[in-house]
């Protein structure tokens, strides 16, 4: 997380001291989220994972059969068992010559045990990593594009938010919002480099 405020151990005794810090933390989180939303132009990059609906359904059905089978309507029991058995045979069948369709249709020949249902529920990975995912902090860093002026303004904005939100009474000597982040020489060198590249 990007929250710069350490939240200590909260207890009834120090709730009054902690509460302003918690609300300040929320302010920093809201600022971070606003920055992220501003920079995120492609919604495909927002989610860390995609949900595979088929695998999610299989896992849900296996858990339902494991925990609430007796409470399920008979038609749902049959449908869930059929779907989970089909998944089980496709995933765990090591005999390519076996007639899977016949095995699946013959309920009396194969009934999933509690251990098998639990194994399916544990093994099914329904969250698929999104190859296009970009984290919020990475978006913000990329938006600065190694531009010293942008980086400086970014840091100044966060310092100002820190002052406005926490109203600290004790700061180091010489600390100020507009203290340079990078030297003027670095900024001049960066601009010179940019002109040479164009």
Distance CA 56, CA 125 (A): 8
pLDDT for residue 76: 92
- 186 half-sphere exposure, CB direction, 13 A CA radius: 11
Cβ atoms within 10 A of the Cβ of 42, count? 9
Is the C-alpha dihedral spanning 66, 72, 74, 80 positive or negative? negative
Segment-wise mean pLDDT, segments of 10 residues, the chain, 198 residues: 40 42 64 82 88 95 93 92 90 61 54 88 92 88 82 88 86 87 72 76
pLDDT at residue number 55: 95
CA 24 to chain centre: 22
In the structure encoding, which two tokens stand for residue 27, read together? 């302010």
pTM across the whole model = 0.54
pLDDT of residue 3: 46
Q: What is the pLDDT of residue 59?
A: 95
Q: How far apart are CA 117 and CA 60, in angstroms?
A: 11
Closest C-alpha to 37, from 139, 132, 154 = 139
The strand pair at 127-129 and 49-51 is best described as: antiparallel
Q: How high is the pLDDT of residue 29? A: 77
């Amino acid at each position: 997380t990007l929250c710069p405020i350490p939240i200590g151990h909260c207890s009834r005794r120090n709730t009054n001291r902690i509460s302003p810090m918690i609300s300040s933390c929320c302010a920093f989180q809201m600022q971070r989220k606003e920055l992220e939303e501003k920079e995120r132009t492609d919604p495909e990059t927002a989610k860390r994972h995609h949900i595979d609906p088929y695998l999610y359904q299989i896992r849900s059905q296996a858990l339902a059969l494991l925990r609430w089978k007796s409470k399920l309507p008979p038609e749902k029991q049959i449908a869930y068992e059929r779907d989970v058995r089909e998944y089980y045979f496709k995933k765990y069948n090591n005999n390519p010559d076996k007639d899977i369709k016949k095995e699946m249709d013959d309920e009396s020949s194969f009934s999933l045990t509690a251990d098998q249902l639990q194994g399916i529920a544990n093994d099914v990975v329904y969250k698929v990593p999104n190859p296009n995912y970009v984290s919020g902090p990475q978006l913000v860093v990329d938006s600065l594009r190694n531009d010293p002026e942008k980086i400086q303004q970014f840091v100044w904005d966060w310092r100002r938010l820190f002052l406005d939100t926490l109203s600290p009474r004790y700061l180091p000597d010489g600390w100020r919002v507009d203290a340079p982040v990078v030297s003027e020489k670095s900024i001049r060198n960066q601009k010179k480099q940019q002109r040479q590249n164009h």
